[in-house]
Amino acid sequence: MTKTEIIQGKVKTVFTTDDPDKVLIQYEDKVTAGNGRKVDFPIGKGRICMQISKFLFEKLEEYGIRTHYIDTFPERIMSCKKVDIIPIEVVVRNVATGSLCRQTYIEEGISLNPPLVEFYLKDDLKDDPLLTTDRMECMGYPEILYSELRNSAIKVNDILTDIFSKIELTLVDFKLEYGHDSNGNLCLADELSPDGMRLWKEGTSESCDKDLFRKDKGDIVEVYNQILDKLNNLP
């Protein structure tokens, strides 16, 4: 199978294939923070993030959530359906922390029930601004897309929250990206790893995610690998 690089992201590279409806995504041994202002290259990190994503994508598919995932290969490569990415990040928050507390009077650490679902424009140059439904409509996105994204994100949250609770982790918040496949189906895309979520040890605010790198608090490869091992040992 021949491949041609088409997108070089922060921590993943996307390649076309002979099949116009498939792409290959290579997970890099790289971690960034602050929109790329802080960078490191931890050996083994790409493989672990790919394997965690594979596990979670497969679980979501079992529950009827359509994803772009197809298969994985050596060299940190995941085969996926080619999708037209919607430039909107969907963020689900179960616990108040981070920018939510910095930008509001919401107290750090309180549970959010029901979870808070937010939408952000995926644009680093604009610092990923928060979107309202009216802004989305002005950008040409129909109201039904807002509903589809929100409903899917809530279902994903329910499933992931349950999975992580079984390995004694609290899913604090996470981001999702979606796209449409060649048949127009809405698919969950990108990745599902601790790089794109906050995970705290149950009953504490001890991070088991990329905050370890952001705040220089620990070895993300070691912690991510522990999470992968626990997921793989679930019954």
Amino acid 160: pLDDT: 98
Which of the following CATH numbers is that of domain 4-81: 3.30.200.20, 3.40.228.10, 3.40.50.300, 3.40.50.1980? 3.30.200.20
Amino acid 36: pLDDT: 75
Three-state SS string over the chain comes to CCCEEEEECCCEEEEECCCCCEEEEEECCCEEECCCCEEECCCCHHHHHHHHHHHHHHHHHHCCCCECEEEEECCCEEEEECCEEEEEEEEEEEECCCHHHHHCCCCCCCEEEEEEEEEEECCHHHCCCEECHHHHHHCCCCHHHHHHHHHHHHHHHHHHHHHHHCCCEEEEEEEEEEEECCCCCEEEECCCCHHHEEEEECCCCCECCCHHHHCCCCCHHHHHHHHHHHHHCCC
Q: Could you tell me which residues are beta bridge partners of residue 13? A: 8, 26
pTM over 0.75: yes
Three-state SS string over 213-232 comes to HHCCCCCHHHHHHHHHHHHH
When pLDDT is averaged across residues 87-99 and rounded to a whole number, the result is 97
Amino acid 210: pLDDT: 96
Residue pLDDT, tens place only, 117-150: 999 999 988 989 999 999 999 999 999 999 999 9
Rounded to whole angstroms, the Cα distance separating 155 from 160 reads 9
Percent of the chain scored above 70 by pLDDT? 98
Q: For 128, phi and psi rounded to 5 degrees? A: 45, 65
Beta strand pairing call for 84-95 and 38-40: unpaired
Q: Do the domains 84-219 and 4-81 match in fold?
A: no
Structural domain boundaries of the chain? 4-81, 84-219
Rounded to whole angstroms, the Cα distance separating 95 from 67 reads 25
Task: Residues 84-219: name the CATH superfamily.
Answer: ATP-grasp fold, B domain (3.30.470.20)
Residue pLDDT, tens place only, 169-186: 999 999 999 999 999 999
Residue pLDDT, tens place only, 9-64: 889 999 999 999 999 999 999 999 887 789 999 999 999 999 999 999 999 999 99
pLDDT at 7 over 80: no
Please, are residues 16 and 25 in contact by the beta-carbon 8 Å criterion? Answer: no
